[in-house]
Amino acid sequence: MIQRSLRHVWHPCTQMKLHESQPPVPIARAEGVWLYDFEGKRYLDGISSWWVNLFGHNHPHIKAALLDQLDRLDHVMLAGFTHQPVVELSERLAALTGLGHAFYGSDGASATEIALKMSAHYWRNTGRPEKCRFIGLAGGYHGETVGALAVTDIAIFREAYAPLVRLAATVPSPDVRGALDGESAADVARRAAAGLQSWLAQHHAQTAALILEPMVQCAAGMAMYDASYLREARALCDRYEVHLIADEIATGFGRTGTMFAHQQAGIKPDFICLSKGLTGGTLPLSAVLTTDTVYDAFYDDDVARGFLHSHSYTGNPLACRAALATLELFVQTNVLARNAELAQLLDQAFAPLTRHPSVRNARRLGMIWAWDIDETASGAAPLPHFAHRYARHALAHGVVLRPIGNTLYAMPPYAMDAETAAHLAHGALAALEATLAEI
């Protein structure tokens, strides 16, 4: 299986040569929080399979909904047709977000592309075509298609494609790790907002939208910030007539403790991008929701004023049905309240890791934990490729954890209990000790 995969599969976000020393793990099946290989060894999915799995793998409620939908309608194009799952899902998402007119894609990057195009096209349709540039936060990540890369500020993802990308501007991040001596998280947010105001004061006439990840910039090493920044950003976007796009692809559906992260600031964006947990980790689906004002600017007899964007599998019935089943679980099992209790349990389990002398900036928001690792704490020079070395040791201890640079993080499914929490925490700490022992 491994050799066949290496011969024919180009794995994502991977330097394939690394698989010479660390081959991919063949997974045969999954159940709950566990992934099982072909020899029966199990691994706890500590990062929810890239942040998508909410309620555990092979969940019976989601599986039953998919099987029922498969007997009814597998797919029909959404251009000129509609179907019950996409209508019901759009209604549910509108009720949850306060936004309507759901437009569907296949993945997070697709959602970013949709929101960016929709924002720029809105300004064109309303007689201001010069408002076609975008702005994002330093360290922001919004996907790896060409448009999404333009608003992604992580060099390793976009430098090779610089000739293809029309780069957006970046403003300071409110990441609390950037605090100066004596500054609180709110002080950092206020200082970052001042940078945003300064930029918008000069460039708002050409700016279509600000895009940001509310509360946590995940690919920037789980950079967390104070909710006051979102309130300041909302006020500034209103003042300077700039759209606010909330990229909730990773932070939505309870990950930060509220259904959507921006709700912690009491604001409403002009666009919200959703994916990952939307289907509970079963099928690819993304959605962008926006305001009546934006929608109305496209409603016209002129076809060219319409939003002529499409994906072949837009609004796929199976994916929409999985999303509906996922949202039903939030209601049936009181997920947000249960997660608050579960997070306390995991805090206790992670306490030895948090107290480790090599850990800096231990932090948590909702069901996201992060620890910055200082490999030089013992006085030794660090070895390269901390993340790859750590991931290898984590697998040896039966957990799936993949640090971002030197930031170790956990974003487990909501199906954890005391036993699995202890296993995850023990494996995380043991893998750190094993990695540091190589120095």
Asked if residues 89 and 102 have their Cβ atoms less than 8 Å apart, the reply is yes
The answer, yes or no, to whether residue 375 has pLDDT greater than 90, is no
Q: How confident is the model at residue 377 (pLDDT cuts 50, 70, 90)?
A: confident
Q: 12-21, 94-103, 287-296, 388-397: which range is least confident on average?
A: 12-21
Q: How confident is the model at residue 18 (pLDDT cuts 50, 70, 90)?
A: confident
d(CA 113, CA 130): 19
Q: How confident is the model at residue 376 (pLDDT cuts 50, 70, 90)?
A: confident
Cβ-based neighbours of 163, under 8 Å, separated by 6 or more? none
Mean pLDDT of 96-104: 97
Q: Which two tokens stand for residue 18?
A: 């690394």
Predicted TM-score (pTM) of this structure: 0.97
Q: Cα-Cα-Cα-Cα dihedral of 210, 213, 214, 218, to 10°?
A: -160
d(CA 170, CA 153): 8
The answer, yes or no, to whether residue 361 has pLDDT greater than 80, is yes
The answer, yes or no, to whether residue 378 has pLDDT greater than 80, is no
Chain-centre distance for alpha carbon 365? 14
d(CA 366, CA 251): 10
Average pLDDT, the chain: 96
Strands, E, within 16-65: which ranges?
A: 27-31, 34-37, 42-45
Per-residue model confidence as pLDDT tens digits over 266-287? 999 999 999 999 999 999 999 9
Q: CA-based angle 210:215:216, to the nearest 5?
A: 100
**What separation, in Å, do the N-terminal and C-terminal C-alpha atoms of the chain show?**
33
Three-class SS state of 311: coil
Closest CA to 123 of 46, 44, 204: 204
Q: How confident is the model at residue 374 (pLDDT cuts 50, 70, 90)?
A: very high
Number of helical H runs and strand E runs in the chain? 14, 16
Q: What is the DSSP letter of 57?
A: B
Structural domains in the chain plus CATH codes: 2-59+335-436 (3.90.1150.10), 62-332 (3.40.640.10)
Mean pLDDT of 47-74: 98
Per-residue model confidence as pLDDT tens digits over 189-231? 999 999 999 999 999 999 999 999 999 999 999 999 999 999 9
Mean pLDDT of 276-302: 98
According to the model, what pLDDT value does residue 382 have?
A: 76
